[in-house]
C-alpha cells in the first residue's frame, strides 16, 4: 500500500471501526509520516470522545420559536421569498 491509500483508511483505523489490513499495518510500521498521522488522529479522536456538548440555555427553544414566528410574519424586503413556501427570508442579525 502507498501513503495515499493509507490516508484513506486512517479515520476508520484511528476510530477502531475496522481491523487494519496486514498491508496497512506493514506500511504504517515502516512509514514515519503515516504513523505520525495515525497517532495524531487517534489523539484528536480521544479528545473528541471526552468533549461534552454544552447544554443550551433553558429558554433557547422558546426564544427560537418566537424569533421564527416574528420572521415568518415579517413582509419580504425584496418582494420575493427565499424559496421557502411559507414565508420571507430569515435575516441574519
pLDDT digits (tens, 9 = 90+) for 7-56: 999 999 999 887 889 999 999 999 999 999 999 999 999 999 998 989 98
Instruction: For 46-67, write each residue's pLDDT tens digit.
Output: 999 998 989 988 899 999 999 9
Q: What does the block give as the cell for 64? A: 427560537
CB–CB of 75/88 below 8 Å? yes
State the residue for C-alpha cell 424569533.
67
This prediction has a pTM of 0.57
DSSP string for residues in 46-70: HHHHH--PPPPPTTHHHHHHHHHHH
CB–CB of 6/27 below 8 Å? yes
Amino acid at each position: 500500500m502507498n501513503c495515499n491509500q493509507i490516508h484513506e483508511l486512517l479515520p476508520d483505523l484511528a476510530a477502531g471501526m475496522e481491523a487494519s489490513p496486514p498491508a496497512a499495518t506493514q506500511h504504517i510500521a515502516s512509514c514515519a509520516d503515516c504513523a505520525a498521522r495515525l497517532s495524531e488522529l487517534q489523539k484528536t479522536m480521544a479528545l473528541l470522545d471526552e468533549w461534552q456538548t454544552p447544554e443550551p440555555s433553558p429558554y433557547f427553544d422558546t426564544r427560537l420559536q418566537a424569533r421564527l414566528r416574528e420572521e415568518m410574519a415579517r413582509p419580504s424586503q425584496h418582494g420575493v421569498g427565499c424559496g421557502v413556501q411559507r414565508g420571507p427570508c430569515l435575516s441574519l442579525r
